[in-house]
Structure 1
Amino acid sequence: MPLPSQHSLLCILLFWTTIISIIQAVFIILFFTQGHKDLNSSITESTPLKHPRIHSTPSPPSKDKLHSCSVRMLSLKAVEGNSSLAWLKLNPNESLINVTKPTATLTITETGYYFLSLQVTLQESENPKLKRTVHLRTKEKVILEGWVNTNTYSTGLLGKVELLRTGEKLEVTISPPSSVNSSESVTHLDIIYLPLVP
């Protein structure tokens, strides 16, 4: 049981807490209602409405938009190479890159983001002490660069997302030139295409 002096202090504390709570509630109500009034008045002052505002739920994207935003994939296999690798499409119906026959230069046909994944493995007969570098490049810059591991004769997986434009050309080079193991499981270039969203 509280003492008489403690009882009066509890009453004062309770009264003070109630007053503070009421003041906070009033400030919160005024803040939010005044904020909405200021926001609405600034909108109407800066951009007068010619038509009444109608709120509606956005319609689902059309099939054309969904089709244009679809992700596409392409796999390429190295068929030969020494200083520049020649590639052949494993899914020839895909038109992301123009490759009609095994070629070292790959031409981009659609602008967008490309996830490029490259692995190059050399023949085991190559001199393992010689340090070799593999580059995936355009004319302007090197996109991927990797060194061949002297134990595995492979670069391992190299990957990066890059914005590429229609007409840009990709090329994979090995320096110094070396014979490549053309097995698809150890030497391949895989591409995932993500279109630019307008």
Structure 2
Amino acid sequence: MPQRTQNFLIHILLLWTTLISIIQIAIIIFLFTAGQKGLDSSAVEPSQMPSVGTVNSLPSNKLVLGEGKMLTFKATKAEGQIKWTANRPDDALILERDKHLMMMVDGYLFLNLQVTLSAKAGCTGSNNCNVSLVKIQPEKTEVVLQGLINKETLSTGILSKVEELGAGEKLVVNMTSLCDCVDDNLSKTHLDIIFMLRPQMSVK
């Protein structure tokens, strides 16, 4: 008799434990799905995010903080300054103006510059040929990258730097008077920019 009572109690205990486990699993699943729905409903669409920088609208591709965009510029002309043309222009980020590039929004830029002279007949040699990437601000001008043309390769090689620019500031590539006949092959002369939006800083 006592053994039957023990077995009965064990079955009751197992049934109770199973029921409690099922209830706990159901509660966890409910809380998890409710939390996910709350996150989804509170997520802000990129199109609803506030603009960054002094320009009131986000770029045409709706670039958001944490994302980057790569722009490659090809040399089309060189008369003391190189004129650049973007392979895939995005005027909402960087606008091409004559021989300079103008920033349309505040951002961080990874700059990658290479200038190569053409070896064809009639071009000036590379002696003392200096190339510089200059940042033009309303109050000052600053050299960001600088290099000499190598006499053997006729190239500056790769010049790179990370730089912060604000909306309205300009980039221009200057060359000394001894430099002409720039090789416009994209693999030899190019300006590459990886652009990321700069977050607004709160003023206390």
Q: Given that residues 126 and 149 in structure 2 are in contact (C-alpha distance below 8 angstroms), is that contact kept between their aligned partners in structure 1?
A: no
Q: Which has the higher Rg, Structure 1 or Structure 2?
A: 1
Matches within 5 A, 1:74-153: 74-93=71-90, 95-99=92-96, 103-125=98-120, 126-128=123-125, 130-139=127-136, 140-153=141-154
| Corresponding position of 2:194 | 192
- 1:88 Cα offset (Å): 0.6
Q: Given that residues 74 and 94 in structure 1 are in contact (C-alpha distance below 8 angstroms), is that contact kept between their aligned partners in structure 2?
A: no
Secondary structure in 2 matching 1:138: strand
Number of residue equivalences: 141
Matches within 5 A, 1:151-190: 151-176=152-177, 177-190=179-192
- 1:94 Cα offset (Å): 5.6
Q: Given that residues 119 and 157 in structure 1 are in contact (C-alpha distance below 8 angstroms), is that contact kept between their aligned partners in structure 2?
A: yes
| Corresponding position of 1:24 | none
Rounded Cα–Cα distance in structure 2 between residues aligned with 1:190 and 1:63: 29
Q: Which amino acid aligns with 1:135?
A: S
Structure 2, gaps ≥5 residues long: 1-34, 50-61
Secondary structure in 2 matching 1:135: strand
Secondary structure in 2 matching 1:68: coil
Percent identity (aligned): 33
- 1:110 Cα offset (Å): 1.1
- 1:127 Cα offset (Å): 4.4
| Corresponding position of 1:68 | 64
Compute the TM-score of the two structures, normalised by the length of structure 1. Answer: 0.64
Rounded Cα–Cα distance in structure 2 between residues aligned with 1:127 and 1:92: 31
Secondary structure in 1 matching 2:83: strand
Describe the superposition over 1:73-111 as per-residue Cα deviations: whole angstroms up to 9, x where unpaired: 1110001113100111100246321127xx311111110
- 1:197 Cα offset (Å): 3.0
Secondary structure in 1 matching 2:195: strand
After superposing the two structures, state which structure 1 stretch, 150-159 or 65-74, moved more: 65-74
Rounded Cα–Cα distance in structure 2 between residues aligned with 1:121 and 1:162: 23
In the TM superposition, structure 1's runs of 4+ consecutive aligned residues that sit over 6 Å from their partners are none
Q: Given that residues 116 and 159 in structure 1 are in contact (C-alpha distance below 8 angstroms), is that contact kept between their aligned partners in structure 2?
A: yes
- 1:67 Cα offset (Å): 4.7
Matches within 5 A, 1:50-61: none
Q: Given that residues 128 and 151 in structure 1 are in contact (C-alpha distance below 8 angstroms), is that contact kept between their aligned partners in structure 2?
A: no
Describe the superposition over 1:144-187 as per-residue Cα deviations: whole angstroms up to 9, x where unpaired: 00111100000011010100000011110111332200111100
Compute the TM-score of the two structures, normalised by the length of structure 2. Answer: 0.62
Rounded Cα–Cα distance in structure 1 between residues aligned with 2:102 and 2:126: 34
